[in-house]
Structure 1
Amino acid sequence: MLVSKHTAVLIENCIKQTHINVTCSYPAQAVLNISGGAACFSGTDSFLTQVIGWGFATERAQFGDDIAAIEQFYRQQGNPQVDIELCPLVPDWLPLQLGKRGYRLTEMNTVSIIDLRQQEGQWHSNTTSCLIRPVEKSELSAWARVVAHGFNCLEAEEHFYHYASAANVTAFAALVDNNLVAGGTIAIHDGIGDLGVTSTLPLYRGKGLQKALLLNRLQFAKEQGAKLAAVTTAPGSVSELNCQKTGFHCAYTRVKLTLGLE
């Protein structure tokens, strides 16, 4: 499947809209919409405090004003740095200009996609020892706690709760013997399903729960009318391998560029 700039824009816009929806659920938050992208702030410790979807519509003549506004926005929030998630299909001069301004590469992730329209029938998992289902609202706190433990990042529990509670986001749980032991999310916007926030408690790894969660979310996205599903993974990770085995293929590598603010 050819990954065009149009497809990349749809994927990044889905992620951007989810960022905005989640950010707006925080009591202390701010969003700056700029040139088709969004600078989001939901706390200095939040993984959603970053710029997403920016660059596609940025003209060279307006770059200086755009980046100055972004940096000033984060200074006003008291954030110590600017993190920009950048798709490689933005104009090639843009990352060069960011580099000249002092931005440095701090992270790389693989964005993979699957065409849900090409899949006939339903996705099935061979795992019969667990139950996969959407999470009830009353279960979101327990879900967030399990996911945080799975990531070994207990301090992010509140952020996972906000993420799973946002509009257009559905959290899924994997239950073994009626115990919630793994979880993941899918956010759907404009025909794109974005899978994320997926982890498993250490004791239950290697039992096919990640694959089961993946397949059930893909089936859910298809039933909701999504045309494509996307997932962001660390390059060469087990998660990336699991996605490839399911039929995902690499669309592009997204980079994070960071500037410390004095």
Structure 2
Amino acid sequence: MPMLVSKHIAMLIEDCIKQSHIHVTRLYPAQAVLEIAGGAACFSGTDSFLTQVIGWGFATERDRFGDEITSIEQFYRHQGNPQVDIELCPLVSHWLPLQLGKRGYRLTEMNTISIFDLRQQAIQRPDNTPCLIRPVQRSDLGAWARVVAHGFNCLDAEEHFYHYACAPNVTAFAAWVDNNLVAGGTIAIHNGIADLGVTSTLPLYRGKGVQKALLTSRLHFAKEQGVWLAAVTTAPGSVSELNCQKVGFHCAYTRVKLTLSLE
């Protein structure tokens, strides 16, 4: 039976992701973090995918909402960011997204948060693939970030992927085929929860079981580290989401990104 997803479980998952955001943000020369009501507003540049609010909303009371959201908006204005992006879990109070809508926030993205219960579920044996999966040495992180950026077709994000892989409690994994680095992914571990992310494969090596091998290798690593719950974020209906389902992940909730323009 799949794990029941309570508000407490969702808070643990979002807190793990939040901690990674904070640690990575601290590595940037021009950065700022506002920790507020159990969440965090992070800024690591106007072009960074980490410049957003994460983990906020669970502890927000109606009478504190106005002060909290005003502080968040002022924080990003002070950083010179053109917008506020809030990653909002649907298990927060039902009135909160409605109030954000009244302030002009609009839905700009949706992501599936899927989970794997390492206490109850068996990790599948990887299929026979021509790839070797192992953690990435520090000296190889530059090449790793380059491959991941190419896999996402987002070359401008190479520096951000590199910083993410260098953060505390984050381990980068890579897939090698014939001694060529062809795919990569990360695992961030905080308080017994693992967040599997930043996963991409070079186009030539897709459809060969590489991503599945990366997933199962990181799950084995997580279990060795004493992790009891692993989570992964994917685009709804994507190949990545299907790959996660094939190894045993199931949907916990769909998180939304709400955006307000400050210009």
What is the TM-score of this pair, normalised by structure 1?
A: 0.98
**Distance (whole Å) between structure 1 residues aligned to residue 129 and residue 78 of structure 2:** 51
Which residue does 1:182 correspond to in 2? 183
Q: Is the 8 A contact 1:132 1:172 kept in 2?
A: yes
Describe how 1:152-191 pairs up with structure 2 within 5 A: 152-191=153-192
Which residue does 1:197 correspond to in 2? 198
Which residue does 1:94 correspond to in 2? 96
**Distance (whole Å) between structure 2 residues aligned to residue 128 and residue 113 of structure 1:** 24
Which residue does 1:142 correspond to in 2? 143
Q: Deviations over 1:72-102 (max 9, x none)?
A: 0000000000000000000000000000000
Q: Deviations over 1:168-217 (max 9, x none)?
A: 00000000001100000010001111000000011111111000000000
Q: Deviations over 1:17-61 (max 9, x none)?
A: 000000000010000000000000000000000000000000110
**Distance (whole Å) between structure 1 residues aligned to residue 130 and residue 56 of structure 2:** 43
Which residue does 1:67 correspond to in 2? 69
Q: CA shift at 1:118, angstroms? A: 1.1
Q: Is the 8 A contact 2:129 2:209 kept in 1?
A: no
Q: Is the 8 A contact 2:129 2:210 kept in 1?
A: no
CA RMSD of aligned residues (A): 0.8
Q: Is the 8 A contact 1:16 1:38 kept in 2?
A: yes
Q: Is the 8 A contact 1:123 1:216 kept in 2?
A: no
Q: Deviations over 1:112-147 (max 9, x none)?
A: 001001134x54211341100000000000000000
% of aligned pairs identical?
83
Segments of 4+ moved more than 4 angstroms: none
Describe how 1:14-33 pairs up with structure 2 within 5 A: 14-33=16-35
Which residue does 2:46 correspond to in 1? 44
The one-letter code of the counterpart of 2:246 is K
**Distance (whole Å) between structure 2 residues aligned to residue 163 and residue 218 of structure 1:** 19
**Distance (whole Å) between structure 2 residues aligned to residue 44 and residue 85 of structure 1:** 16
Q: Is the 8 A contact 1:194 1:231 kept in 2?
A: yes
Match of 1:102, SS state, is: coil
Which residue does 1:209 correspond to in 2? 210
Q: Is the 8 A contact 1:193 1:228 kept in 2?
A: yes
The one of 43, 53, 56 aligned to 1:54: 56
Across the two proteins, how many residue pairs are aligned to each other? 261
Describe how 1:121-140 pairs up with structure 2 within 5 A: 123-140=124-141
Which residue does 2:108 correspond to in 1? 106
The one-letter code of the counterpart of 2:215 is L
Which range moved further: 6-15 or 111-120? Answer: 111-120
The one-letter code of the counterpart of 1:212 is A
**Distance (whole Å) between structure 2 residues aligned to residue 126 and residue 67 of structure 1:** 48
Q: Is the 8 A contact 1:123 1:218 kept in 2?
A: no
**Distance (whole Å) between structure 2 residues aligned to residue 116 and residue 137 of structure 1:** 28
Q: Which runs of 5+ in 2 are unaligned?
A: none
The one-letter code of the counterpart of 1:248 is F
Q: Is the 8 A contact 1:127 1:209 kept in 2?
A: no
